[in-house]
Amino acid sequence: PVMVSAPDLPATYNAAGFDQVVMKTYGRLQLAVERGEGCYLWDSSGKKYLDFCAGIATCCLGHANSRLIEAISKQIRTVHHVSNLYYIPNQGELASKLVATSCHDKVFFCNSGAEANEAAIKLARKYGHTVLGADVPVVITALQSFHGRTLGTITATGQTKYQKNFGPLVPGFEYVPYNDVEALEALVKKINGGGPLSGLRRKKRKVAAILLEPLQGEGGITPSTKEFFQAARRLCDETGALLMADEVQTGMGRTGKFWGYQQHGVEVDVLTTAKALGGGVPIGAMMCKDACNVFQPGDHASTYGGNPLACAAGLAVMDAFEQDKLLENVQARGDQLRKGLDAMAARLGKGVVKEVRGWGLIVGVELSADTTFLAADVGAALLEAGMLTVAAGPKVVRLVPPLVVTKDQIDGALATLEAVLVKLGA
Ligand code: PMP
């Protein structure tokens, strides 16, 4: 492990000041961001950082983006919040732009990824009860998945570290190893098969939905195989269950296609997204096809969901896709990044880099099991070298820059990362 000498932070940010009043739910790095522009951030001492974290794949247009500034400034001067008791014109506009990008018909707006997944889980349960005739609708998720931090979504999350000490968890979830087609087939059969069961299981259990990330983000930048995703589609078609994609991290162009599910060549019934949807302004969305839209007035709601300010941000992001060729940039810069990382990995050897994975601008560098350092150590050394990243598990360095990242910035990031890995591995 490396020791990092952090720059001294102003009094309000030091441990005594900040941590005294803000709950310590994060292991924070010694960095207080003061301002940003494009793919750069500056700390309170004036030090500049190349931002390959982007608020964890959120600030897709970078920082202080003029489209975002103009859109939300104009909106806040006009009307910033009303209520979903009324029609919100720009919410309708954003919804129509979103459905035009996907195979879905309807959008429900909320404020975060976890909330979007809660909406999807509720939709799946109601679908299970009312359409499939289940007494106990079951949602299948994958091991190593991540779906959020609410009680429902930590239960959906297939990693016990997020659930520990928060039980009792929400009933009605089952887990399958990611990319294991046979295990998924067997699990669906077991749940739907019935048989002589006791207790809760005497009631009719039925798979209501299979919820998957098209590529696992927090789980280590692990893409689903086409075979697995397509098997999930087939099993849903055979049983009437809904295939639901959690695109909170993979959505909005991050993978080089507008939606991650499009990488797998099949449609999904339900999709959730957040993060990049507002370019850093809180907004989430759950989209579904008309055929599975069982929500009626009163079924689900959110005070802030789809407020005019958040929708103005969402529309600014959509404008950037339409007018600034953002998707083309993700594809070109993503290729450049992955090619550069493959070449770097070859130079450093298997003793340092085990694998480079990902699509578009969501890329993971898995360190060899033999390295004495972890992804967090690489992150700390990069911070010192003026570059921000975020780990995805103990051994995976995640690179998720703003989607507006330039060729020179990718070159700069590659050089900085290689220098840091050489230094740590020496
Ligand atoms: N799903 C996925 C795939 C995510 O990556 C995240 C956040 N990392 C979430 C859900 C939760 O999103 P939020 O923090 O906005 O609730």
Quote ipTM for the complex.
Answer: 0.99
* Token representation of residue 195: 């048989």
Q: What are the tens digits of pLDDT across the range 370-424?
A: 999 999 999 999 999 999 999 999 999 999 999 999 999 999 999 999 999 999 9
* Token representation of residue 71: 């859109």
**Residue 197 in this model has a pLDDT that exceeds 70:** no
**Residue 5 in this model has a pLDDT that exceeds 50:** no
The reply to whether the predicted model has a pTM over 0.80 is yes
Ligand 1 atom closest to Cα of residue 56: 8
From 109, 141, 252, 275, give the residue whose CB has the most ligand 1 atoms within 8 Å, as the site to mutate.
275
354: left (phi over 0), alpha (psi -120 to 50) or beta: alpha
From 118, 121, 212, 248, give the residue whose CB has the most ligand 1 atoms within 8 Å, as the site to mutate.
248
Q: Are 373 and 269 in contact (CB under 8 A)?
A: no
Q: Which of 227, 132, 242 is nearest to 180 (CA)?
A: 227
Proportion of the chain above pLDDT 90, given as a percent: 89
376 burial (CB, 10 Å; 0-12 / 13-18 / 19+) is: middle
Q: Are 118 and 295 in contact (CB under 8 A)?
A: no
Ligand 1 atom closest to Cα of residue 115: 16
Q: Vertex 394, ends 390 and 397: CA angle to 5°?
A: 35
**Residue 247 in this model has a pLDDT that exceeds 90:** yes
CB of 248 closer than 6 A to ligand 1? yes
Residue 18's pLDDT is what?
Answer: 81
The residue assigned the tokens 């994958």 is: 142
Q: What is the mean pLDDT of residues 29-50?
A: 93
Please state, as a whole number, how many other Cβ atoms lie within 10 Å of the Cβ of residue 26. Answer: 7
Q: What is the mean pLDDT of residues 20-49?
A: 91
From 25, 121, 146, give the residue whose CB has the most ligand 1 atoms within 8 Å, as the site to mutate.
146
**Which residue has its alpha carbon closest to ligand 1 atom 1?**
147
How far apart CA 23 and CA 29 sit, in angstroms, is 15
Q: Which of 381, 348, 380 is nearest to 366 (CA)?
A: 348
Q: What is the mean pLDDT of residues 256-277?
A: 98
Ligand 1 atom closest to Cα of residue 117: 10
* Token representation of residue 148: 């959020």
| The pairing of beta strand 173-176 with beta strand 136-142 | parallel
How far apart CA 350 and CA 318 sit, in angstroms, is 41
CA–centroid distance, residue 319 to ligand 1 (Å): 24
* Token representation of residue 297: 């007035």
**Residue 175 in this model has a pLDDT that exceeds 50:** yes
Residue 393's pLDDT is what?
Answer: 95
**Which residue has its alpha carbon closest to ligand 1 atom 12?**
113
Give Cα separations from 321 to 124, 271, 406 (angstroms). 31, 19, 16
CB of 251 closer than 6 A to ligand 1? no
How far apart CA 379 and CA 393 sit, in angstroms, is 12
Proportion of the chain above pLDDT 70, given as a percent: 94
Q: What are the tens digits of pLDDT across the range 350-359?
A: 999 999 999 9
Q: What is the mean pLDDT of residues 282-290?
A: 98
| The pairing of beta strand 136-142 with beta strand 48-51 | unpaired
Ligand 1 atom closest to Cα of residue 246: 3
How far apart CA 289 and CA 1 sit, in angstroms, is 49
CB of 274 closer than 6 A to ligand 1? yes
Ligand 1 atom closest to Cα of residue 148: 11
**Residue 15 in this model has a pLDDT that exceeds 70:** no
CA–centroid distance, residue 254 to ligand 1 (Å): 14
DSSP 8-state secondary structure symbol assigned to residue 353: E
How far apart CA 38 and CA 65 sit, in angstroms, is 7
How far apart CA 344 and CA 349 sit, in angstroms, is 8
CA–centroid distance, residue 313 to ligand 1 (Å): 19
Residue 195's pLDDT is what?
Answer: 58
How far apart CA 272 and CA 259 sit, in angstroms, is 10
How far apart CA 244 and CA 173 sit, in angstroms, is 14
Residue 374's pLDDT is what?
Answer: 97
Residue 6's pLDDT is what?
Answer: 46
Residue 425's pLDDT is what?
Answer: 86
From 249, 252, 259, give the residue whose CB has the most ligand 1 atoms within 8 Å, as the site to mutate.
249
**Which residue has its alpha carbon closest to ligand 1 atom 10?**
147
Residue 398's pLDDT is what?
Answer: 98
Ligand 1 atom closest to Cα of residue 112: 15
